[in-house]
Amino acid sequence: MKKLLVFALAVLAMVGRVRADEGMWLPMFVERLNYVDMQKMGLQLTPEELYSINHSSLKDAIVGLGSTPRPTGFFCTGEIVSEHGLLFTNHHCGYGAVQKLSSMEHDYLHDGFWAKDYSEEIPAPEMTASFLIRMEDVTKDILGVVTDDMDWEARNVAIAAKIKELQNAASEDGKYNPVIKGFFEGNEYYMFVYQVYTDVRLVGVANESIGKFGGDTDNWMWPRHTGDFSIFRVYADKDGNPADYSADNVPLTPKHHLPISLDGVKQDDFTMIWGFPGSTERYMSSYGIDYNVETFYPIIIDIFGKQLEVMEEFQKADPAINLMYADSHASLANTWKNFIGQCQMLRKNKVSEAKVRLENNYKKWVSEDANRKAEYGEALPNLMKAYEELGHISKFIYYPNFVAQAGPAGVAMAFMPYYNAMEKKDKDMAEMVLAQLNEIDFNEMFAETDPQVEHKTFAEMLKLYRNAFNEDELPEFYSKVIDKKFKGDIDAFADYVYENSVFATPESIKAFLAKPSKKKMDKDYAFMVASQMVSILKENRQAYAEAQTAVQENDHIFVKGLREYYAATQPGKSLYPDANSTMRMSYGSVKDYMPADAVHYDYVCTANGILEKYIPGDYEFDAPKRLLELIERKDYGVYADENGELIVCFLSTNDITGGNSGSPIMNGKGELIGLAFDGNWEAMSGDVNFEPKLQRTINVDIRYVLFIIDKYAGATNLINELDIRKSEPQPLREETEN
């Protein structure tokens, strides 16, 4: 019995050591920092099979999705799943491209799209696919140009010049796209060398009643029943090199593609996610957290909430407007709800208080050594002062910025250089600006917006501004024009602007360009709004920039000291850098959770939940008739689990953030078991502080993805292209005593 007890305690101790969950780790350090733990948890691949610069490895199947030929960061992640360059990502990652390809005649967002062969695949506008060739530590090269007598500005100038030099050298005359980024607040630097493919084509996407099922209501929530996936293909020239779109291009033959497992998931199964997480702030001070919760997030929630309200009013009434604003709405709504969740959960999970406890211990450690005190002693007090300044000044930056961009005021902004040139009586400059303005296709610009939406947004932004400021803080057009001439009626003012402003329609703009006049601009109310808002921005921009610079400089010092503090007080602790849209790996396990007292969330949800949530004709919870019929009949084919149910989504403890959307979640064999697409509401504070008991990644199960492709859409050509695997059932064994 004693031996068994000792053994049990040893096993428990081992489990405590190897459970990772937290951390977004750089691939080149996996073997040194993570591999042993990953093996113990269930990884069956070798380090070389995970990350290699000399041989094909798992990293070669991971794709950063960008919107330019030379991206410095990625909006989402994708993964290659066939030897013909087929790429899976999330539905919401492909949403913008699908929206641009859609029209009222061919509304792929509403109806879905499935190519039957290569000839039907459609070039995706402004989507690029970047493959990581290698990464390397360039810290010594970068920091080697920094000297002790440099101030923060000179330091940044020297670093930027060195970064440009190293990136140019590594590009091999444009063959590669090298990107160097700072880590640990500029205390380390790494270079990532990418090969960027610009010919990416849409292959398949389910209608949004599947891909966005649950809409904004279910966003960040569990259980989730969203088929959040879309399918693209990467094309290359005949030699496999990146090339702009051409009918002669062929599907890319990748270095590695992910096999797909139909085995499903069980509680505590090992999982790993590879991708390009966008941004975390795990080393943020308590002062930064308080600023975000008390000032920054509430401002953005206020502005975005009103913009969404206006969009939704018209989107629900008109399918054409719905399609036009679909991508903008999705992006705004995601950020808006994210910030609401962060405000709530940073408070509820007492993240600032936890940071204060850490900072108190850190300050004590700093004060115990004169050298440490000299180098690090002022960083936290300086951060406190900088964030106090940001707290005072932020509303004078964000509110005027968004008002100045609204409706005709936003158009008038483009004409300010002409006005300034005329005011200075610089005719040559004025003529040059006019020539540039005449090159703008204003018909095309206005075609991408709806006048009703823009008109009401303009009015609502003006109302929002008035409510956010005291009377003595308002620009003078409120008192001299809106109050005096329109009796305080902002809607009437907005109506007048849209009826009379030079900048309200393409026709009025063209007429002005044919006969430009500074006097006309002086009398134009849209220009008046824009110019007075810009004046407020100019008055406050320098103080805002100085406070932001102080935050950056003192964060650099604080994190440098914090790393020394951890090395001295917790020498066994491995630190990972914040996410910054570079390739990372996280590992964990399939896991349920308890969000509150007496509440237990299972780690999977099934298609039965779609029937339970279904509301015919609803903006968020409608569902296709064929899907409902398949679920009611439980016609799931090989995609059902052992109980005959269809798993839609599952939870894991992997550490992810925005940018990881579309990332592959894999089992210990490196087989695809799902696509990561969201986090959970109770851990919305996770970008600042990982919450191990609460934090979960929501993944769409690969079996649901295949079910939609196969049983729902009938796109068997795609199913036949995939490397789909299923383990043989293990025979039951009876243990016998010798």
Active site residues: 92, 228, 661
Cα(322)–Cα(412) distance, integer angstroms: 26
- The set of residues, in sequence order, having a beta carbon less than 8 Å from that of 406 and lying 6+ positions away, is 454, 457, 458, 461, 462
Would you call 525 exposed, middle or buried from its count of C-beta atoms within 10 A (0-12, 13-18, 19+)? buried
Number of H helices and E strands in the chain, helices first, is 33, 22
Cα(696)–Cα(271) distance, integer angstroms: 12
Q: List beta partners, residue 593.
A: 601
Rg (CA), the chain: 28
Helix (H, G, I), strand (E, B) or coil at 469: coil
Phi, psi for residue 231 in degrees, rounded to 5: -130, 130
Question: Is the Cβ–Cβ distance between 228 and 700 less than 8 Å?
Answer: yes
Cα(221)–Cα(337) distance, integer angstroms: 11
Q: In degrees, to the nearest 5, what angle opens at C-alpha 251 toward C-alphas 245 and 253?
A: 130
- The set of residues, in sequence order, having a beta carbon less than 8 Å from that of 723 and lying 6+ positions away, is 81, 82, 257, 258, 259, 260
Cα(180)–Cα(506) distance, integer angstroms: 42
Q: Taking the CB of residue 700, how many other CB atoms lie within 10 A of it?
A: 28
Q: List beta partners, residue 182.
A: 189
Cα(529)–Cα(357) distance, integer angstroms: 46
Distance, CA of 426 to chain centre: 44
Q: In degrees, to the nearest 5, what angle opens at C-alpha 682 toward C-alphas 677 and 684?
A: 60
Give kind and range of the element (H or E) at residue 204.
strand 199-205
- The set of residues, in sequence order, having a beta carbon less than 8 Å from that of 74 and lying 6+ positions away, is 64, 65, 66, 130, 276, 278, 581, 659
Nearest Cα to Cα of residue 612 among 214, 208, 211, 212: 214
Helix (H, G, I), strand (E, B) or coil at 533: helix
Distances (CA, A) of 103 to 326, 563, 619: 12, 53, 19
Distances (CA, A) of 378 to 149, 367, 374, 553, 565: 18, 11, 8, 11, 16
Cα(697)–Cα(676) distance, integer angstroms: 7
Residue with tokens 């279910």: 218
Cα(498)–Cα(525) distance, integer angstroms: 10
Q: Mark out the alpha helices in 370-505 (DSSP H runs).
A: 370-376, 379-393, 395-404, 407-413, 416-423, 427-438, 442-447, 451-468, 476-477, 484-486, 490-500
- What are 562's two structure tokens? 């914090």
Distance, CA of 503 to chain centre: 33
Cα(262)–Cα(724) distance, integer angstroms: 7
